């Protein structure tokens, strides 16, 4: 499931990238980091004028689906190491599980805050502030889970699964 989430991520990134075309210079990441209602309004006005507002809605809906797939896939990968391995791999599995949970909570909070503003057609200082606050936490948790899964898989491969509980 974790590998599937990476493929879905590529599709979400392509959908997000389709927003910045023609005279549209602001993307989803700009919307995430906006921080204020006036900045959100500026970004959404550009999307409306550029004819990509519906693409932004689709991209955010795809992001909402992807968050679940990635968070669950990372959590399940971490749980596999936490329950079926010993020592460092078990600890790494618990770390991945925690990172996946933090990622899911923060990315859903961020994206739902954005999505509400997008559907309302206007920014909210509160929601924009929440989204901007969650963005770096989400990114850190995403990277922790991503790198954690890769490190655990490589370490597990090199240990020859000798740390397996039987």
* Angle in degrees, CA 39, 14, 124, rounded to 5: 20
> Which has more confidence, 69 or 3?
69
pLDDT at 161 over 60: no
> Which has more confidence, 158 or 154?
154
Sole residue written with tokens 């599980």:
97
- Summarised one tens digit per residue, pLDDT across range 55-106 is 999 999 999 999 999 999 999 999 999 999 889 899 999 999 999 999 999 9
pLDDT at 69: 94
DSSP character at residue 124: -
Closest CA to 31 of 159, 117, 139: 117
- Summarised one tens digit per residue, pLDDT across range 12-59 is 888 888 888 888 999 999 999 999 999 999 999 999 999 999 999 999
pLDDT at 160: 65
- Output the pTM of the full model: 0.86
Asked whether the CA dihedral 35, 37, 41, 47 is positive or negative, the reply is positive
- Summarised one tens digit per residue, pLDDT across range 94-151 is 999 999 999 999 999 999 999 999 999 999 999 999 999 999 999 999 999 999 999 9
* Angle in degrees, CA 45, 46, 51, rounded to 5: 100
pLDDT at 8: 82
Sole residue written with tokens 């020592």:
87
DSSP character at residue 18: T
Work out the average pLDDT over 152-161.
83
pLDDT at 166: 44
């Amino acid at each position: 499931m974790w590998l599937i989430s990476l493929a879905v991520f590529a599709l979400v990134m392509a959908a997000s990238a389709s927003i910045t075309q023609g005279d549209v210079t602001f993307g989803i990441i700009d919307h995430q980091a906006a921080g204020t209602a006036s900045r959100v309004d500026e970004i959404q006005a550009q999307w409306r004028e550029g004819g990509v507002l519906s693409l932004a809605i689709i991209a955010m809906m795809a992001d909402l689906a992807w968050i679940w797939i990635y968070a669950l896939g990372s959590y399940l990968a971490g749980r596999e190491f936490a329950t079926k391995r010993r020592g460092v791999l078990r600890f790494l599995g618990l770390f991945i599980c925690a990172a996946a949970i933090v990622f899911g909570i923060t990315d859903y909070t961020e994206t739902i805050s954005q999505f509400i503003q997008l559907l309302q057609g206007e920014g909210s200082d509160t929601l924009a502030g929440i989204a901007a606050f969650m963005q770096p936490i989400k990114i850190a948790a995403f990277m922790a889970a991503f790198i954690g899964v890769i490190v655990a898989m490589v370490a597990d491969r090199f240990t020859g699964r000798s740390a397996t509980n039987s």
